[in-house]
Amino acid sequence: MSAPETTISEMPFSLEDSNDESVFLSKVAGRALRIAVLGLGHVGLPTALGFAEMGWEVLGADNDLAKVLRLTSGDPGFYEAGVEELLRKHLQTGLFKPVEDLGAAIRSASIVFICVGTPQHENGEADLSQVESVARTIAQNLNGYKLIVEKSTVPAVTAKWIQRTIHRYASGGNGKSSSGSHAVAFDVASNPEFLQEGSAVDNVFHPDRVVCGVESERASRILTAMYGPLQRPIITTDLNTAELTKHASNSFLAMKISFINMVADICEAIGADVTKVAQGIGMDPRIGSAFFQAGIGFGGYCLPKDLRAFIHLADSYGVDFSLLKEIEAINQRRVEVLIKKVRQALWVLRDKVIGVLGLAFKPGTDDIREAPSLRVIRALLDEGARLQLYDPKAMPNVQRILPAEEGRIRYCQTPYEAARAAQALLVLTEWNEFRDLDLHRIRELMEVPVIVDGRNVFAPEQVHRAGFEYLSVGR
Ligand SMILES: NC(=O)c1ccc[n+]([C@@H]2O[C@H](COP(=O)([O-])OP(=O)(O)OC[C@H]3O[C@@H](n4cnc5c(N)ncnc54)[C@H](O)[C@@H]3O)[C@@H](O)[C@H]2O)c1
């Protein structure tokens, strides 16, 4: 496999121009500068394509050559509505170019977005090695004023570290600071991304707000000019505040989910309906109705790891934020709550055939990172159950980590196939297509008519009418 032929023309203006703030700003207004987006994953790719759609010339750089080759052929490599269409469109217009050579992309761009991954260490702390690595590459390719925008989710003070790293390595890695007479000016800004997988493209064009953490007027003006056309509220802050806003936001969302899940347990205990309680609470504008669906807990690449990183950050500054730890503990227990329901319906699970509908961590994506479904599946396999799995998009990703195994795991082409001869059918992701299933047909196919609905996809009356024993969450 070799790198695709990349021809990146020179910067569209001279270096002297790039250091002149008014010239730079007029180029921003006319979209006459190039943007480099480093990291072309679930955030980087929609971001890059969003800027291309807004008329910018975007170089998307990723150090994964296979990914760059896939993108060059028009394949995003993951499922996200609208991304493939935008990718094909802007490969055609030439406004988006995937490249493997980060240095070349940085040198020829004036605004550089960092969108690499920030996974977690064992102790929950954010692993910032990808961010550090690209900061060094930026330093080594700083050939004129650039605005460096951190979009990855990072703990407070990361932007300061990016600044420090660029200063340290900008001299070519000889350890001497570049702040002397040959220093090249740059700004670092924090512009945390709030998009949600499943609606990423829409979120890129219609963000609820744009948070811009800056330290200079110039950075603020550039970001305001870039995001202005979206006509969404822009909140300008200092760097630490912007970074903290993202962690606090995700932790609050996680708290809403854990809160409603505990309310669900109380509803089950006393015979109330959590969906109505959630409706009643959520209509209060001080609270809001989003993220109030009781279920098997939150997963994905953001909420669990960002919550843990926030816990770690609070601990490391000696702040006792024990609420965050409880949010996580509640979330961890949700899978056991579901497994108990399966046992309640089937008693012994050994050799029971169980159909599973939904593997992705949420609908609208094929992402299975920290998907609660995987923990459910592993728990059922540990108890000796035989599983028939179905998901509209995520099966190939699950197959890679849990290959089909005779008598233990079978992947099915339809939800009906997953239900065939099963003694229970579990719903673990609320894909819309499950809401429209023919329950009478499913009833006919199953050996024992039991549905354990971990996402409250069905209305209880509807399922009972079709002849099922039905266990859902908090009602
Ligand atoms: N996924 C989401 O819904 C979401 C939402 C908001 C914010 N975020 C945050 O955005 C960041 C990116 O998340 P993601 O889901 O896009 O991750 P991802 O794993 O899908 O993508 C990261 C990309 O960075 C590339 N990369 C890694 N090291 C690199 C390097 N040194 N140079 C160039 N490319 C490199 C990887 O190959 C990969 O393509 C994370 O900090 C995440 O927490 C994610």
The phi, psi pair for 262, rounded to 5°, reads: -70, -35
Q: Whose CA is nearest to atom 20 of ligand 1?
A: 41
Q: Which residue among 59, 62, 69 has the greatest number of ligand 1 atoms within 8 angstroms of its CB, and so is best to mutate? A: 62
Q: Which residue's CA is the closest to the ligand 1 atom numbered 37?
A: 64
Report residue 179's pLDDT band, with 50, 70 and 90 as the boundaries. Answer: very low
pLDDT at 357 over 90: yes
CA–CA gap between residue 242 and residue 248 (Å, rounded): 10
pLDDT of residue 4: 55
Q: State which of 38, 40, 43 you would mutate to test the pocket of ligand 1, scoring each by most atoms of that ligand within 8 A of its C-beta.
A: 43
Cα 62 to middle of ligand 1, angstroms: 10
Q: Per DSSP, which regions of 102-224 are E strands?
A: 111-114, 146-150, 186-190, 210-213
pLDDT of residue 17: 58
Report pLDDT for 175: 43
Pick the atom of ligand 1 nearest to 153's CA: 41
C-alpha 12 – ligand 1 centre gap (Å)? 28
Task: Provide the pLDDT for residue 20.
Answer: 81
Cβ-proximal residues to 11 (8 Å cutoff; 6+ apart), any chain: 18, 34, 107, 108, 109, 110, 143, 144
CATH superfamily of 15-237: NAD(P)-binding Rossmann-like Domain (3.40.50.720)
With cut-offs at 50, 70 and 90, classify the pLDDT of residue 172: very low
Binding pocket residue ranges, ligand 1, CB within 6 Å: 38-44, 61-64, 67, 102, 115-118, 130, 133-134, 152-153, 193, 195, 197, 301-302
Specify the residue with its C-alpha closest to ligand 1, atom 7.
Answer: 193
Q: Same CATH fold, 327-471 and 15-237?
A: yes
With CA atoms as reference, report the closest residue to 359 among 291, 427, 435: 427
- Closest by CA position to 359, among listed 401, 410, 395: 395
For the segment 299-336, what is each residue's pLDDT rounded down to a tens digit? 999 999 999 999 999 999 999 999 999 999 999 999 99
Minimum-distance ligand 1 atom for the alpha carbon of 367: 1
Determine the atom of ligand 1 nearest the C-alpha atom of 133.
31
Residue nearest to ligand 1 atom 13, measured at CA = 117
Is pLDDT at 11 greater than 90 in this prediction?
A: no
Residues in contact with 49: Cβ distance below 8 Å, sequence separation at least 6, in sequence order: 58, 83, 86, 87, 90, 96, 201, 204
Q: Band of the pLDDT at 173, cuts 50, 70, 90? A: very low
pLDDT of residue 22: 86
Please identify every residue annotated as catalytic. 302
Tell how far the Cα of 41 is from the centroid of ligand 1, in angstroms: 5
Is a pLDDT exceeding 60 seen at residue 363? yes
Q: Ligand 1 centroid vs 431 CA: distance in angstroms?
A: 25
Report the CATH fold assignment for 327-471. Answer: Rossmann fold (3.40.50)
Q: What percent of the chain has pLDDT over 90?
A: 89
Rounded Cα distance between 109 and 97, Å, is 12
**Span from the CA of 204 to the centroid of ligand 1 (angstroms):** 15
- Domain residue ranges in the chain: 15-237, 327-471
How many angstroms does the Cα of residue 452 sit away from the middle of ligand 1?
A: 34
